[in-house]
Amino acid sequence: MRSTSIACFSGGALATLATTGALAQAPEPSVSIPVASVEIVRILKGKICTTEGGAKFTFTSDGHYAYAGLGRTHSGHYWLGHGAATVRLDNGLERDFKISRRSGMLYMEQTAVRCE
């Protein structure tokens, strides 16, 4: 549990923040680190990303997207940037998949993927 105290003194504002626990700790290995747009393009464009369960996300060089997994297939188009891969399926549904790294692994939302 954290305890916080803030004190203000006349003649100026002096704020003291005291928190139980270390605020300057290094991030835990499971902390999600966003991936920059330029790196997302390098990692995903023209690649097939697979999950441990065998699902495949295909990002072709010309902007087409395909998904195969869990007994389903979907296709559409994608664009990359702003920390996410945005997918618009052929049926019109659109979704952003946040791209991040945790413990050196690449993640699409909460799913670890390997892209080749």
Question: For the chain, which residues make up each domain, given as ranges?
Answer: 33-115
Query: Token pair of 116, please?
Result: 């080749």
Q: What is the pLDDT of residue 90?
A: 98
Question: What is the reported pLDDT for 59?
Answer: 98
Which pLDDT value is given to residue 30?
A: 65
Q: What is the pLDDT along the chain (116 residues), one digit of tens a residue?
A: 444 333 333 343 333 333 334 444 444 456 788 889 899 999 999 999 999 999 999 999 999 999 999 999 999 999 998 899 999 999 999 999 999 999 989 999 999 999 99
What is the predicted pLDDT for the residue at 29?
52
**Alpha carbon distance 34, 40 (integer Å):** 10
Q: Which CATH number fits domain 33-115: 3.20.20.70, 1.20.1740.10, 2.40.128.640, 2.60.40.10?
A: 2.40.128.640
End-to-end Cα distance, the chain: 43
Q: How much is the pLDDT for 21?
A: 40
